Amino acid sequence: MRALARLAAATLMVAAPLAAVTLAPTANAAEDPAPITVVTSDFEDGTVQGWTGRSAETLAVSTAVAHSGTGSLEVTGRTASWQGPSLDVLGVFEKGTAYTISAWVRMASGSDNARLSVERRTGGVAAYDQVVGNTAVTADGWVNLTGRYTVATDVDLLRIYIETSSGTGSFHLDDVSAGYVPALPNQTGIPSVRDVVTEFPVGAAITGAEIVTEHGQLLDKHFNSVTPGNALKWDATEPSENTFTYAQADPLMAWAKAHGKAVRGHTLVWHNQTPSWVFTGADGQPMTATAEDKELLLARLENHIRNVAGHYGADIGVWDVVNEVIDENEVDGLRRSTWYTVAGLDYIRTAFRVAREVVPDAKLYINDYNTNVPAKRDKLYSLVAQLRAEGVPIDGVGHQMHINVNWPSVAETEAMIQKFVPLGVEQQITEMDVSIYTSNSETFPAPPADRLLKQAYVYRDMLALFRRYASEITSVTLWGLADDNTWLDTFPVTRKDAPLLFDTRLQAKSAYWGVVDPSKIDPSPSPSVSSSSASPSPSQSSGTAGCAVTYRVTGSWPGGFQGDVKVTNTGPAPIAGWSLTWQYTGGQKIAQLWNGALTQNGAAVTVTNASWNGTLAPGGSASFGFLGSWTGANPAPAVFTLNGSACAVP
């Protein structure tokens, strides 16, 4: 990638913040090869190892403190918070490759917030990307900054650097590394999602990283619609008043055009990712509910929409005109954003009216999350009904569908779609992803097989539902291309998630097969009943009671372990509802269990079936998984009892 300056405009790249203090594990860690390291700076040889100050600050090797060994790099004499040590990685970082960058930072004294950033230039135009955001650092210990970064365009300057958020205090840097896991070739022999799901366009949210090299090929093969995930938001398009920039969105739009993809425009009005100047009155104070502030806010809104929607015209066929305006906890159902508190419902009316005027052929959407939740769905319904009755040009309702492997049910999702049918609006699924986590407190070192399988069933069932409602649903978009770049890595907490159809190395997951050909989903371990013809009953010599149990520890670490259990009906009659018991002999304690219901009293464990896996045909089986704790030893139980009868343990 050396010194290429082919692109005239500054273009985008992607910084996907991954983890602040600790490194979130990567998905499929078990199968990933070791990363290839391209940068290591340990400052053990007494030199600054190529690091330079960004300005006139001083860099020197120090032995006062070190993260490892005896040396670190100390930066002193800073006169601005953006000053700090930087390393040239031009010719080291290849375009399209996702690098994990890690650095250890410690203040010399006092405290501040440290950031890991990248400066890049194309044709002399500079851009600054944040890889790891503000992370508290003190002089008391070392703090790790780890994040992932993909160079998505040709550049003629590329430097990684450390800065602070406010002060100019001296700090130490040590053990900087950057590496990548080599890409695997795309699977070209598998069906394209867009050739299988033909009822409506299937889209993916994209950043600059999704349109280059293997990512671009994967995106092109499987999807026929794209949504810029951030590039069209207010902070990206009008960072300061009446200064419009399309540097982030233009390359994505050009890619879409060149590859014949539809584009969903996301989003013209939102309470997030909107610069603070928008809500600052002429007097420099935060806007309040005055006539003057309302007039100014609506004028800014109108100007924004005229420019941004006008800039792309017919190239964007659908706009999320307003995003997330509902709060079901308010009696009137309206989110108390500054938009609302200053302008009331008029901000929504103005937004749709202006959008219709500027792009008369575009479909105009109101978009929100949790629209499957009845209270929220109903408030959204009432608002859309009211505004449409007034003549506000709302064409469609967007359901984000940020869901997880346990929630919501297909029935609830169907009710969500049905609710809006009488309104005569279009509906789209706009931001679907299926988290492997079912609570904020879970973190897995690698996605458990059970969760990936459940996820495959969720994708299978939800896509089947949407396709059945093809007369209502006019597109389905996933919020990302592959698990290597998902917003769920940092939302709602920092941990590696795996919510999409392709894994971190762009290979098709079971979730992909759930959409494309459910018969190919790996049936083991299964959260649902596998049929007798698919899995012949195991032939075992012992245990004639009519059941067999396999208990496996699938992962183990100090103090914790993960297991799965498979129960098979080896008798001649179906089993309707089951309860499996065993005794632990090593003091193990199950903390969490899925695909079944748990009771544990001391050593005695009882697991009963979940609602969907209670019936076991002859030869059929059900599996469940769990996380537990152990100390000393973790022996497998020897005896299992199903509905009161001992089972074979093959």
- Give the shortest CB-16-to-ligand XIL separation in angstroms: 8
Closer residue to ligand XIL in complex, CB, 187/272: 272
Question: H/E element holding 451?
Answer: helix 449-468
Closer residue to ligand XIL in complex, CB, 229/525: 229
Please give the backbone phi and psi of residue 37, each rounded to the nearest 5 degrees, phi first: -90, 130
- Give the shortest CB-50-to-ligand XIL separation in angstroms: 32
- Give the shortest CB-616-to-ligand XIL separation in angstroms: 40
Residues 332-391 that bind ligand XIL (CB under 6 A): none
Q: Which of 238, 324, 426, 472 is catalytic?
A: 324
Q: How far apart are CA 133 and CA 148, in angstroms?
A: 12
Count of residues binding ligand XIL (CB under 6 A)? 6
Closer residue to ligand XIL in complex, CB, 293/431: 431
Q: What is the full DSSP assignment across 32-79?
A: PPPPEEEEEE---SSS-TT-EESSS-EEEEE-S--SSSS-EEEEE---
Residue 576, strand partner residues: 615
Q: Is 85 in the site for ligand XIL (CB under 6 A)?
A: no
Q: How far apart are CA 638 and CA 52, in angstroms?
A: 63
Q: Which of 177, 337, 338, 400 binds ligand XIL (CB under 6 A)?
A: 400
What are the tokens at 97?
Answer: 């490759």
295 is catalytic: no
Closer residue to ligand XIL in complex, CB, 398/525: 398
431 is catalytic: yes
Q: What share of the chain is helix, strand, coil (3-state, %, to 5)?
A: 20, 35, 45
Compose the 479-498 pattern: x for residues touching ligand XIL by CB under 6 A, - for all others: --------x-----------
Q: Is 156 in the site for ligand XIL (CB under 6 A)?
A: no
- Give the shortest CB-372-to-ligand XIL separation in angstroms: 15
Q: Is 150 in the site for ligand XIL (CB under 6 A)?
A: no
β-strands 645-646, 143-150 pairing: unpaired
Residues 198-257 that bind ligand XIL (CB under 6 A): 229-230
Residue nearest to ligand XIL (CB): 487
Q: Is 431 in the site for ligand XIL (CB under 6 A)?
A: yes
Closer residue to ligand XIL in complex, CB, 238/431: 431
Q: How far apart are CA 50 and CA 29, in angstroms?
A: 32
- How many Cα atoms occupy the beta-carbon half-sphere of 126 within 13 Å? 5
β-strands 85-88, 157-164 pairing: antiparallel
Name the DSSP letter for residue 529: P
**No. of helices (H) and no. of strands (E), the chain:** 11, 32
- Give the shortest CB-207-to-ligand XIL separation in angstroms: 7
- Give the shortest CB-430-to-ligand XIL separation in angstroms: 8
Q: Is 323 in the site for ligand XIL (CB under 6 A)?
A: yes
Residue 62, strand partner residues: 72
What are the tokens at 179?
Answer: 């590496």
What are the tokens at 409?
Answer: 């049910």
Q: Which residues are catalytic?
A: 324, 431
Judged by the rule CB under 6 A, the positions of this chain that interact with ligand XIL are: 229-230, 323, 400, 431, 487
